[in-house]
Amino acid sequence: MMPISRRAFLGGAAGAAAAGGSAWAALLRDSLEAAAPTVRPSPTTTRAPVTTTTTAVADAVASSSARLPVTERVLVVLEMDGGNDALNTLVPAVGRYHDARPKIGLSDGQLVTLTGVEYRLHPALASLTPFWEAGTMSAIAGVAMPQQSRSHFTAKDAWWSGVGGSPSQTGWLGRWLDLSLDAERNGVDDPLRAIALGGGSPALVGGQTTATAIRDPAAFTLATGPGVDEGGLVEAFLATASALNAEPTLAAAQQAIPGTLDAVALLAAAADSDNLSAYENPTPGAGRTAVDLLSTAANIIAMGIGTRVLTVGVRGFDTHADQVENHQALLQDLASGLASFFTALEASGDLDRVMVITTSEFGRQIAENGSAGTDHGEGGLQFIFGPTVAGGIVHGGYDLGAVDDGGVPPVVDTRSVYRSALEWLGGPGGADGVFESSPEDLPLVAI
């Protein structure tokens, strides 16, 4: 990737922004203007081909050493906003699935077989099966927070905070960033250490640390008024940096300017807005696709700028109506994004230092509704990918005979998944102090 100069950025060649918690961050705006229209392919229910490239990348993940210093590892949390339908994503091969879903249920002939388990994958996820076969992908079924809510707002608050029962001012990742700041950065905060793509993730909110939030990597701009010259404004701020103001807040802003502009330029280069996908999210206003956001994530990781945590937010999974086509398109985008992401990491030599976990605030009800969709439920689904994952396993499961008010009964606390991810990210004991009580230790990864 060609480096981008500060001068080129000031001339308008880049469109991205970093918010670092300083006064200067107030001049940065996340533009919500839609990008140029894209063409949505007609969704199908045919099985996507498993390419040689994807298989080779999966094998590369499996063969990587994964013994880099923990401070070089990167955790990517892929948030499927809206409440993903677990049962149509990882489908039980036995039980009352087909009886409960006569219209939206997937037929046996459509589903993708997974070796060693009595579950099948949605056909749109076929390109991920090489990771399963290589032992670098696992699933956690029937997963939820304690006292799982069916309200989007309440459920997301709990999933983001990792705190059950009462509101929290910090997120589970933010608390880890706080607790590890002294050991990793000598107590000096760095807003590029944690980056949220596709919108700000409350999971990254800390008490001592700040994160960079980017809703649309291709549409960031400086927040200037009508007729204001952006380049001139920035140059004026830069000119003041050598003569600090006596007022502490302004002095802090002046000191932060050069570093902020460098961060802006780096993230502008990572956004690569000239290479957007041809897929359009079927949910109006849903924002960037998984393909686009994960491409930016791969570029950020390849830059080696010290990022330790990335969240990627993909919206549209609240499938109350017309689920078959919409869910197909969403999962196809997800699978394509992940496959391309891992391919890019292999090319940059970063494959062995990245782990990915998926989240979604709840699952859906077992039975379909009258609108060819599904309503809010409880137990959901998470996937985990990485070089040290105990792969090819479904942890937990769906007990469709013990229905919890129409939903899948929760059998796994998602904080156990979080704990495994943090202990991989920060080494043994990496999750200490993050949760109010110690979650169950699941054998998800080898630390």
Distance CA 290, CA 271 (A): 13
Residue 281 lies in a domain: no
- In a shared domain, residues 260 and 298: no
Query: How many CA atoms, within 13 angstroms, populate the side-chain half-sphere of residue 15?
Result: 14
Residue 175 sits in the same domain as residue 191: yes
Handedness of CA 421, 424, 429, 434 (dihedral sign): negative
Please check whether residues 356 and 306 belong to one and the same domain.
yes
Residue 47 covered by a domain: no
Asked whether residue 15 is assigned to any structural domain, the reply reads yes
Tokens of 206: 């800390």
Domain check: are 194 and 106 in the same one? yes
Tell me how far CA of residue 291 lies from CA of 131, 214, 220, 295, in angstroms: 18, 15, 18, 6
120 falls within a domain: yes
Say if residues 444 and 425 touch (Cβ distance below 8 Å): no
- pTM given for the model: 0.81
Q: Report CA dihedral (179, 77, 391, 398) to the nearest 10 degrees.
A: 110
- Whether 15 and 104 map to the same domain: the answer is no
Examine the domain organization and report whether 24 and 109 are in the same domain.
no
Domain-located, residue 194: yes
Q: Are residues 321 and 300 in the same domain?
A: yes
Domain assignment of residue 55, yes or no: no
Return d(Cα 287, Cα 54) in angstroms, integer: 26
Helices (H), 311-373: 323-348
DSSP state of 275: S
Structural domain count of the chain? 2
Structure tokens at 67: 């013994």
Sign of CA dihedral 304, 309, 313, 314: positive
Domain membership of residue 45 (yes or no) is no
168 and 80 in one domain? yes
Q: Which domain holds residue 3?
A: 1-29+221-272
Residue 228 and residue 109 share a domain: no
Q: What is the CATH number of the domain that holds 426?
A: 3.40.720.10
6 and 130 within one domain? no
Q: What is the mean pLDDT of the chain?
A: 80
Is 1 inside any structural domain? yes
Same domain, 229 and 212: no
Q: What is the pLDDT along the chain (447 residues), one digit of tens a residue?
A: 333 333 333 333 233 333 333 333 333 333 222 222 222 233 333 333 344 466 776 666 565 544 456 789 999 999 999 999 999 999 999 889 999 999 999 999 999 999 999 999 999 999 999 999 999 999 999 999 998 899 999 999 999 999 987 789 999 999 999 999 999 998 988 889 999 999 889 999 999 999 988 887 766 555 567 777 766 766 776 665 555 566 666 666 666 666 666 666 677 777 765 544 444 555 555 567 999 999 999 999 999 989 999 999 999 999 999 999 999 999 999 999 999 999 999 999 999 999 999 999 999 999 999 999 999 999 999 999 998 999 999 999 998 887 667 899 999 999 999 999 999 999 878 899 999 888 888 999 976
- Contact in structure between 95 and 120 (CB atoms under 8 Å): no
Residues 332 and 201 in one domain: yes
